[in-house]
């Protein structure tokens, strides 16, 4: 079976629709919404195409109004765009996001997978850097052959003995220093992939939103550069 794994779509329908393949199954590790201009379209697309979907901290925030607990540089962007997002979703979409599981354990052939948006010990908010030694303990917590996690927007694959920990990166808001959208594929082994998409169209949509100019600048800067552009650098 060929499984395509994506995470952190963040209401970027252009990146989602440009995904080169969905495999036999598509797994989504959360954060369908916030930051991007098309939350409703993304939720509908995921509901139609994905076999497994996990709740992310921004999905949880959209459904409940709770704080998504973003890092300081993204806090204003998140606050402004969460308010926008909540004006664009239908009631059934709120209910869908709120009903998504915090984790999923499943098996393909003889391989056991554990899926969570953030670290399994804190599946909504647990931010663990790609190179952190904490991942070994998190892989033990997951008690699976392959732990798949998102949240950081940074793709990686690490091994701890017989266990694999991997992050597909972000398809909708890459933070790799490149605008390329990131995802992963499992077909008996795990590989990281990336693809180009029309980020300029997404940026133009953001520019037309009724939000403060500084938020537009920061959001489009992340799309263009794959990271947060410091004010004054342009």
Query: pLDDT digit string (tens) for 47-66?
Result: 999 999 999 999 999 999 99
Output the CATH code of domain 3-225: 3.60.21.10
Where do the structural domains in the chain lie, given as residue ranges? 3-225
Query: pLDDT digit string (tens) for 136-175?
Result: 999 999 999 999 999 999 999 999 999 999 999 999 999 9
Q: Note the pTM of the prediction, 2 decimals.
A: 0.96
- Dist CA 108 CA 1 (whole Å): 8
Closest C-alpha to 88, from 42, 57, 31: 42
């Amino acid at each position: 079976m060929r499984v395509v794994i994506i995470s952190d779509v963040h209401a970027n329908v252009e990146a989602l629709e440009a995904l080169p393949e969905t495999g036999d199954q598509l797994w989504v590790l959360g954060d369908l919404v916030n930051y991007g201009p098309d939350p409703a379209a993304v939720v509908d697309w995921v509901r139609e195409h994905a076999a497994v979907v996990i709740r992310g901290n921004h999905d949880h925030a959209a459904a409940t109004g709770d704080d998504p607990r973003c890092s300081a540089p993204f806090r204003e962007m998140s606050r402004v765009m969460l308010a926008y997002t909540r004006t664009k979703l239908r009631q059934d979409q709120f209910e869908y996001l709120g009903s998504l599981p915090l984790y999923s354990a499943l098996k393909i052939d003889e391989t056991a997978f554990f899926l969570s948006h953030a670290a399994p010990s804190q599946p909504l908010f647990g931010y663990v850097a790609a190179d952190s030694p904490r991942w070994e303990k998190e892989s033990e917590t997951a008690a699976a052959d392959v732990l798949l996690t998102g949240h950081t927007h940074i793709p990686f694959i690490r091994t701890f003995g017989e266990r694999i920990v991997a992050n597909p990166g972000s398809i909708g808001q890459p933070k790799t220093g490149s605008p390329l959208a990131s995802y992963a594929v499992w077909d008996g082994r795990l590989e990281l992939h990336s693809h180009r998409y029309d980020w300029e169209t997404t940026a133009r949509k953001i520019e037309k939103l009724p939000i403060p100019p500084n938020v537009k600048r920061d959001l489009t800067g992340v799309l263009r550069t794959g990271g947060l552009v410091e004010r004054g650098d342009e």
